[in-house]
């Protein structure tokens, strides 16, 4: 497939560097954090690399027919995670887009009086960004407030592999206590230990001079084990892969749009955090060929999923998947589902579509249908569950009585008002989440 041409690309990008960040090791509820100038530079460089790879007509991976001087908002779509980690992911997306579509003096307009007006900052290009809030769309943050996922974490902590790794980590956690300032030094808290050390090592010169050699490497090793066990699963449909299962739906629908000749979409950017990377690598079998990818990708890492049209005699559509870990100079090819070359689009869809979570309702069913939420969160007994059930029944009866009273009151009000002849057709406009930046 070396002679194949690129029809379109989906890029999954991790946010750039940020300040320290805490995640609850049992629920993954998280604190706020802030982006840094370093993080913006990392994301901007990624955007510039993507531009030279896919928007430069001299590149072998140039997207055929895409407009490269000025952004065409019909050809480009951007979705940005807007859940935990605050504005960091959004800031990273904007920095990436600044590198992908730099200011261009062609971004101008000529008015009726023949005055030429160039956009601010020498022709800055404003790209619409769709923010994805977990309150109404779980596709980019599916692991929080999910009872089944919390049970998965609990089971992982109780596993023999986790207990063995915890024993291996005892000497490290004993030695690192003086460098984490009261933070729990346990394997359950490994991600927070690593994130704190890594942040201080990057931004605090005094701390960097004091930290003993190998501590950051050991912290990352145990954090990689921890996050891989939490966000990875041997079963493509496993709840441990929930971060990848929800993002799969966006990937599959975008591929179908790019493949359809009547749809103008050619470039899709999904700006998110590290969790979907781990799940996606497990789901597609990439970790079997690349065990070094088990764990946390670096800041500004990215996966590029290229849709390519084969050359004669095989003119089917294929996928070529590439990964760039952090600020490494180049993408490297990675192969999915046991292939050692590009995979046919139809096969990829066939093997992945049943694992995709396609709606908030399906997410809710997977997260909560098989588990008692109170027991998962609090570890309650069956007696507690029975009490909860009785309480819920009484509450529901109360709500039913109140609803009947409200319905009767509303009926009387409707009967008392003046009605116009004909049917009442009310169209409620749906607010679009896209905002210009």
Distances (CA, A) of 44 to 84, 161, 295, 327: 22, 40, 24, 11
Per-residue confidence at 202, pLDDT binned at 50, 70, 90? very high
* Extents of the domains making up the chain: 5-147+233-363, 170-230
Over range 185-191, report the average pLDDT: 98
| CA separation for the pair 203, 191 (Å, rounded) | 18
**What pLDDT score was predicted for residue 424?**
34
Task: State the CB neighbour count (10 A cutoff) for residue 385.
Answer: 13
The residues, any chain, with a CB within 8 Å of residue 166's CB and separated by 6 or more, are: 186, 187
| CA separation for the pair 11, 132 (Å, rounded) | 16
Over range 47-66, report the average pLDDT: 96
Phi/psi at 202 (nearest 5 deg)?
-80, -35
Q: Which helix (H) or strand (E) holds 317?
A: strand 317-324
Q: Is 38 exposed, middle or buried (0-12, 13-18, 19+ CB in 10 A)?
A: middle
**What pLDDT score was predicted for residue 414?**
43
**How distant is the alpha carbon of residue 307 from its chain centre?**
20
Q: Which of 20-34, 131-145, 396-410 has the lowest mean pLDDT?
A: 396-410
Q: 69-98 pLDDT, tens per residue?
A: 999 999 999 999 998 887 999 999 999 999
**What pLDDT score was predicted for residue 4?**
82
* Residue labelled with tokens 């049943």: 354
The residues, any chain, with a CB within 8 Å of residue 380's CB and separated by 6 or more, are: 372, 374, 388
Pick the CATH number of 5-147+233-363 from 3.20.20.140, 3.30.1180.20, 3.40.50.150, 3.40.50.1240: 3.40.50.1240
The yes-or-no verdict on residue 115 having pLDDT over 50 is yes
Angle, helix 242-259 to helix 345-352, in steps of 10 degrees:
150
**How distant is the alpha carbon of residue 401 from its chain centre?**
43
3-state DSSP of 137-148: CCCCCCCCCCHH
**Pairs from 425-429 (Cβ < 8 Å, separation ≥ 24):** none
Over range 312-322, report the average pLDDT: 90
**What pLDDT score was predicted for residue 319?**
97
Half-sphere exposure of 373 (CA within 13 A, CB side): 12
Decide the pairing of beta strands 108-110 and 317-324: unpaired
The yes-or-no verdict on residue 180 having pLDDT over 60 is yes
Decide the pairing of beta strands 317-324 and 302-309: antiparallel
The yes-or-no verdict on residue 117 having pLDDT over 60 is yes
Q: 158-173 pLDDT, tens per residue?
A: 999 999 999 999 999 9
Q: 256-305 pLDDT, tens per residue?
A: 999 998 999 999 999 999 999 999 999 999 999 999 999 999 999 999 99
The pLDDT mean for the chain works out to 87
Distances (CA, A) of 229 to 158, 213, 222, 224, 278: 12, 26, 11, 8, 9
Phi/psi at 181 (nearest 5 deg)?
55, 60
* Residue labelled with tokens 């046991």: 338
- Lookup: tokens for 420: 């116009």
Phi/psi at 259 (nearest 5 deg)?
-70, -25
**What pLDDT score was predicted for residue 201?**
97
The yes-or-no verdict on residue 384 having pLDDT over 80 is no
**What pLDDT score was predicted for residue 383?**
39
Per-residue confidence at 127, pLDDT binned at 50, 70, 90? very high
**What pLDDT score was predicted for residue 167?**
98
Per DSSP, what are the bridge partners of residue 302?
A: 13, 324
| CA separation for the pair 35, 33 (Å, rounded) | 7
* Residue labelled with tokens 């619409």: 128
Q: Which helix (H) or strand (E) holds 380?
A: none
Per-residue confidence at 428, pLDDT binned at 50, 70, 90? very low
Q: Which of 177, 347, 156 is nearest to 238 (CA)?
A: 156
Q: Which of 221-225, 237-241, 310-314, 336-340 has the lowest mean pLDDT?
A: 310-314
Distances (CA, A) of 403 to 260, 395, 411, 416: 48, 12, 12, 20
Per-residue confidence at 8, pLDDT binned at 50, 70, 90? very high
Q: 416-426 pLDDT, tens per residue?
A: 333 333 343 33
Q: Which of 255, 235, 237, 258 is nearest to 246 (CA)?
A: 237
**What pLDDT score was predicted for residue 418?**
36
**What pLDDT score was predicted for residue 374?**
36
Decide the pairing of beta strands 5-14 and 267-272: parallel
* Residue labelled with tokens 């990689």: 224
Per-residue confidence at 398, pLDDT binned at 50, 70, 90? low
Distances (CA, A) of 197 to 137, 201, 202: 33, 6, 9
């Amino acid at each position: 497939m070396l002679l194949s041409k690129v029809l379109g690309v989906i890029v999954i990008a991790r946010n750039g560097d940020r300040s320290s960040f805490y995640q609850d090791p049992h629920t993954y509820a998280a604190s706020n954090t802030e982006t840094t100038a370093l993080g913006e530079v990392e994301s901007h460089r990624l955007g510039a690399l993507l531009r030279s790879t896919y928007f430069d007509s001299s590149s072998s991976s140039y997207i055929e027919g895409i407009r490269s001087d000025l952004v065409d908002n019909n050809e480009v779509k951007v979705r940005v995670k807007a859940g935990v980690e605050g504005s960091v992911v959004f800031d990273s997306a904007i920095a990436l887009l600044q590198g992908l579509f730099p200011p261009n003096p062609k971004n101008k307009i000529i008015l009726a009086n023949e005055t030429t007006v160039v956009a601010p900052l020498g022709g800055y290009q404003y790209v619409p960004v769709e923010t994805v809030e977990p309150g109404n769309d779980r596709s980019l943050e599916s692991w929080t407030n999910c009872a089944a996922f919390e049970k998965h974490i609990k089971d992982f902590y109780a596993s023999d592999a986790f207990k063995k790794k915890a024993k291996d980590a005892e000497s490290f956690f004993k030695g690192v206590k003086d460098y984490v300032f009261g933070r729990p030094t346990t394997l359950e808290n490994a991600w927070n230990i690593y994130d704190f050390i890594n942040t201080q090592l990057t931004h605090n010169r005094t701390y960097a001079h004091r930290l003993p050699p190998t501590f950051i490497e050991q912290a990352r090793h145990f954090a990689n084990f921890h996050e891989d066990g939490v966000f990875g699963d041997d079963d493509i449909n496993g709840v441990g892969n929930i971060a990848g299962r929800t993002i799969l739906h966006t990937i599959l629908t975008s591929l179908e749009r790019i493949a359809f000749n009547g749809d103008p979409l050619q470039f899709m950017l999904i700006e998110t955090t590290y969790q979907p990377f781990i799940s996606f690598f497990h789901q597609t079998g990439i970790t079997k060929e690349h065990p070094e990818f088990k764990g946390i990708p670096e800041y500004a890492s990215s996966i590029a999923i290229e849709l390519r049209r084969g050359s004669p005699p095989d003119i089917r559509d294929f996928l070529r998947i590439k990964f760039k870990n952090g600020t490494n100079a180049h993408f490297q090819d990675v192969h999915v589902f046991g292939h050692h070359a590009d995979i046919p689009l139809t096969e990829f869809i066939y093997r992945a579509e049943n694992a995709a979570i396609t709606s908030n309702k399906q997410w809710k069913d997977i997260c909560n249908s098989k588990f008692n939420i109170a027991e998962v969160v609090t570890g309650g007994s069956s007696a507690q569950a029975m009490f909860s059930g009785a309480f819920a029944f009484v509450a529901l009866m109360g709500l039913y009585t109140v609803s009947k009273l409200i319905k009767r009151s509303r009926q009387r009000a409707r009967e008392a008002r003046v009605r116009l002849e004909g049917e009442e057709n009310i169209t409620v406009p749906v607010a679009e989440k896209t905002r210009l930046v």
